[in-house]
Chain A
Amino acid sequence: MAAVTRLSLLVLLLVGALVAPAFAQDGERIRGQLTAEGEGVPDVTITVSLDGEPVGTGVSDAEGEWFVDLPGPATYEVTIDVDTLPEGVQLRNPDRTTLEIRVGEGATATALFALGEREEVGPILLQRIAQNTVNGLKFGLIIGMTAIGLSLIFGTTGLINFAHGDMVSMGAFIAFFFNAVLGLHLILSALIAVIVGAVIAGAIDRGIWHPLRRRRVGLISMLVVSIGLAFVIRHVILFYFGGSRRPYRDYTLQTGIELGPIRLQPVEMWVMGLSVVILIAVALMLTRTKLGKGMRAVADNRDLAESSGINVERVVLSVWILGGGLATIGGIFLGMIESVDYLMGFRLLLLMFAGVILGGLGTAYGAMLGSLLVGLVSELSTVWFSSQVKYVWALAVLIIILLVRPQGLLGQKERIG
């Protein structure tokens, strides 16, 4: 019964952490889809105002879809930020940057911005390959950061944590809460969020997984429990923050800097740079410190590590704390370069799976390598194929690697019996 108490405490913690929902969406909404050449145009900012006062901002997703939840029925001005349109994409009528939209009670209205053809400028193919390679690395670094925790948790406990993606969303939203709701600067919010995220991850291990491991609950049952946990986290976020995509308050709407064929916003450069630094730090931690060596030893052979005097449960707890912290950072970075929404982590989870299996389940370096490749594959696919199906390629890689080399690129064949 102690487990019940712990579990309910944990749930209370999750639910009670935020006393009242920061945002709730009910009824009125303006939505739209931005497409050019039949493909969605992502990352475009749209602001909705009422009598000149902004009431909300939306950012288009990979399919070009966006929406903004509204405070009530009224006639709103919807403005597209033309600076956030990608290179070569323009409004068909450059004067129509603002539309007036009437929204009735509980209704969802659609605002349409017609976009023109992409301009064919210069050696477009090479340029797009270069740009998408950089985007792929950027995305891959974020996947990698979150996937290390997933892989190490699997390595040390044998559990595939289906709630890992939602730990990413949770981290992003903790930062969002401090940043957009309480008004702290994003850097401060991020630091607080990393600590909170790591502590919650540790609490999840102690409160749920540790007792289940002690009761020797089977692997399959544990996987179902992790799915249940994922559900709880995801929908608690939905409850408090609603279903829309939201940007952080800082570092949005930056102008890109041209670097040869590539255009990057400063925030993207910072995210990439910091990701590299963090990944190197984690690698050093794993190889140089006693704790890191312990983690690798437990992941390698749990029984052997235990018999050689390593406190396995403490190592596992550290892995969860590390994984929770990294998931939070990954979530915040993803939120900074795109936006935050309650499904962001789940979408990322599938790519993390592809990354860790590609690299080799249970290995930290494999997770990094595999994730980079997954990021590259999905972003580079958009050079030739529709961006709406870019995740499909990454997931196809997952199935192919299972067919030809199920142990992954860096994994070793398992011994049977």
Chain B
Amino acid sequence: MSSDAPAATDPLEGIAPEPGVAKPDPILTIDGVKRSFGGITAVNVDHLEIQRGIITGLIGPNGAGKTTLFNLMTGFDTPDTGTWRFNGAPLSGVPAHLVARRGMVRTFQLTKALSRMTVMENMQLGATGQLGERFLPSLIPGLWRRQEREITARADELLARFKLDHMRDEYAGTLSGGQRKLLEMARALMVEPELVMLDEPMAGVNPALTQSLLGHIKGLRDDESRTVVFVEHDMDVVFDISDWVVCMAEGAIIAEGPPSSIGQNAAVIEAYLGATHGQAPARRRKQAGGTDQ
């Protein structure tokens, strides 16, 4: 896999590869966020900026606090201390659903495809600002039918792009693990987010689907100019599609920089080799999550 050529003018050109470094146009800025569970510090991030319009890979050994950081940023968990800003506006203490509406949408490590709803219903659910979702208007189909048609058309487009159109009317529970990941990503796009946070998008995905998933992630940046942060264990994938890589260990940011610099970073190598349960950043696929049936 050859490294993808970065955009013609790399916005992070010349930024020093050190933890907590300031970036020219941060979409998300984190300050002093700490979260501990019964004495164990899961997350302890002094300062981190996520650059707008690029793909940032978040790596680190198991238990480094990546998913907890995702939970904290998206309002699914509350930190003990700390603040963070999204597009300059404070986001601390904002409940999860409002975080999503502000334009920061996340996916989950274990997919949350709603299995007893059809693929199309999953997609339609993602659209925000639906009049038919309000109690009284929902009783008068005339009020929302047109909007529903527009949403359905948009969903159909996305499903075609993600090659799920043939499954449109099937229950999401019948999808394979990889298809669920695709559906979850497509569904997240229905929210029209500025920042997409993908928690292990490749985990449990059959290799045949990996390339198409990667293509879709790059497409988010290149075709729709969205910002992407993703957690991934497979270093091939990380180095292939990231413009910038952040490495966490024991809750803290220990290194960040362009992919080329991270592989050689002494702190990263130590974190992986030193961590008892972790895997070295070797080029092997992580066997996690559901299997691909």
**Interface set of A (CB-CB < 8 Å, partner B):** 412-413, 415-417
Contact = CB atoms under 8 A, between A and B. Distances in A.
Which 6 pairs from chain A and chain B are nearest by CB? A417-B71, A416-B77, A415-B37, A412-B38, A416-B76, A416-B71
A407 to B, nearest CB: 12
A417 B42 CA distance: 13
Contacts of B37: 412-413, 415
Q: How large is the interface on B (under 10, 10 to 19, 20 to 34, 35 or more residues)?
A: under 10
Most B C-beta atoms less than 10 A away, residue of A412, A413, A415, A417: A417
B108 interface: yes
Contacts of A413: 37
Nearest to A417: B71
B113 to A, nearest CB: 16
B38 A417 contact: no
15 contacts: A412-B37, A412-B38, A413-B37, A415-B37, A415-B77, A416-B71, A416-B76, A416-B77, A417-B67, A417-B68, A417-B71, A417-B76, A417-B77, A417-B108, A417-B109
Nearest to B67: A417
A222 to B, nearest CB: 19
Interface in B65-120: 67-68, 71, 76-77, 108-109
Contacts, number: 15
A417 B77 CA distance: 9
B110 to A, nearest CB: 9
Interface of B: 37-38, 67-68, 71, 76-77, 108-109
Contacts of A412: 37-38
B160 to A, nearest CB: 31
A244 B76 CA distance: 51
A405 to B, nearest CB: 15
Nearest to A415: B37
A413 B76 CA distance: 13
A415 B79 CA distance: 12
B84 to A, nearest CB: 18
Contacts of A416: 71, 76-77
A305 to B, nearest CB: 16
Nearest to A412: B38
A417 B74 CA distance: 12
A413 B79 CA distance: 12
Nearest to A413: B37
A416 B72 CA distance: 10
B130 to A, nearest CB: 26
B96 to A, nearest CB: 10
A212 B67 CA distance: 32
Contacts of B76: 416-417
A417 B35 CA distance: 14
Given A412-B38, A417-B76, A417-B108, 12 more contacts: A412-B37, A413-B37, A415-B37, A415-B77, A416-B71, A416-B76, A416-B77, A417-B67, A417-B68, A417-B71, A417-B77, A417-B109
A206 B110 CA distance: 31
A149 to B, nearest CB: 25
Contacts of B109: 417
A412 B67 CA distance: 20
A220 B67 CA distance: 27
A415 B37 CA distance: 8
B90 to A, nearest CB: 22
A253 to B, nearest CB: 52
